Amino acid sequence: VARRAPEGRRGGWLPGLSASFCLAGAMDALEGKEDRFGGVTVTLDPAKHARWEPAVFGVRLVAALESWAGQGKRGMWLRVPSQVANLIDPAIMLGFEFHHAQPGYVMLTKWLPATPSSLPVYPHHQVGVGGLVLDGSGKRVLCIQERSGLTAGMVDFWKLPGGLVDPGEDLCDAAVREVREETGIQTVFECVATVRESQSGGPLGCTDPYPGFV
C-alpha cells in the first residue's frame, strides 16, 4: 500500500507502507517546539529516529504537517543530524527546502500557507576587520604582504593586516587578534577609522562589510 502526499504539496508517493505502519505512526508522532512567530521546529534525535525507515518517517511527517496546518501554524523547521541523513529524502518529497547546513546537521524548511514564505533566509553577511596600526610618531602605518590569500603573488601589493571575525567575537577584539596573528605585534584598540563594504561575494559568496580600526 502506498500513501499519497497531501494535495498542494510537492512530491509523490511514499511506498511500502502498510496499515500497521500508519497506526504505529499515529502512536509515535513527531514532536515539535512552537516559536513566537507561528512556526514549529522539529529536531530529529539519532537515538530515537535512527531506527525509523524513511517511508515510515514520511507518513509521520505527513500526519504532523496536516495537524500543524490545521492549527494555523506557518513556518516548519526540520533539523536533521547527519546520523539520520537518510530521512532527508522523504522531507524533500513533501515540499521541504534546504535552508542551511553546518557540521553535523542540515536544516530544512517548509511554508504551510498558500502565500509567499516569510521565513528568514540564512545569514548572508560575513564580517572582516583590518587593523590600522600606527607607530609612535603616528606617521607610519604597518602593512603586510600575503603569502597566501586573495592578494598573494600580486607584485608590490601591501595591505593592512586583517581577516574574518570569529563567531561570538567582538569586532575590536578581532582586529587586535588578526594583527597579532599576522605580524606578532600586540596592539590596543583605539577607534573606528573607516568602513568599506564589498558585494563581490568573496570565497564564501557573502556581502562583506569591512571596518578598519586604529
Tens-digit pLDDT profile for residues 143-175: 999 887 778 888 889 999 998 899 899 999 999
Residue with cell 540564512: 122
What whole-number distance in Å separates Cα of residue 18 and Cα of residue 15?
A: 9
* CA angle, 194 then 197 then 203, to 5°: 125
The pTM of the full predicted model, rounded to 2 decimals, is 0.67
pLDDT at 199: 83
Split at pLDDT 50, 70, 90, the class of 213 is: confident
Environment class of residue 65 by beta-carbon count within 10 Å: exposed (0-12), middle (13-18) or buried (19+)? buried
* Percentage above 70 pLDDT, the chain: 85
What whole-number distance in Å separates Cα of residue 202 and Cα of residue 196?
A: 14
Tens-digit pLDDT profile for residues 35-74: 988 999 999 999 999 999 999 999 999 999 999 999 999 9
Residue 18 has pLDDT above 50, yes or no: no
Residue 208 has pLDDT above 50, yes or no: yes
Residue 13 has pLDDT above 70, yes or no: no
Task: Say whether 131 sits in a helix, a strand or coil.
Answer: strand
